[in-house]
Amino acid sequence: MLFGSAAWKAGDRDAFIGWDTEARKSNLFLLTNNTRFLILPWVRVKNLASHILGKVCARLNTDWIDKYGHPIHLIETFVEQNRFRGICYRAAGWTHVGATVGRSRNDRDQTLSVPVKDIYLYPLNKDYAGRLCQ
């Protein structure tokens, strides 16, 4: 598993959170992106992926505070629609909030075409939206 910076903009994520441009710019650091999650195809353990996600999500905020000195309130991930179904994220309690538009962070001229991805979010506290919209 690997976590990194949250996506700068993701329309469906931003609408789900309910933040405006200023709140997003100010509070984006309070999100993290599950950028990599790999269980090798020959590993066959029932519910392993959702179990790992649950364990990691339960301690991620504490570890983040220890490492970076500030909390995170929401985790995001992007799942390629044409390759995966996001079942382990759903099983672990993540919420599907929409999809990307097929652009990348490197597409400043809006000419690149990348696979459309489903957006899943996992809040780390009940008042995540209130905290992110401040």
> Domain boundaries in the chain?
2-132
**How many Cβ atoms are within 10 Å of 21's Cβ, its own excluded?**
9
β-pairing, 95-99 vs 74-80, is unpaired
Q: One digit per residue, pLDDT tens: the chain, 134 residues?
A: 999 999 999 999 999 999 999 999 999 999 999 999 999 999 999 999 999 999 999 999 999 999 999 999 999 999 998 888 899 999 999 999 999 987 665 555 555 567 889 999 999 999 999 999 98
**Structurally, what CATH architecture does the domain formed by 2-132 represent?**
3-Layer(aba) Sandwich (3.40)
C-beta of residue 92 within 8 angstroms of C-beta of residue 50: yes
10: Cβ contacts below 8 Å, ≥ 6 apart: 76, 78, 100, 119
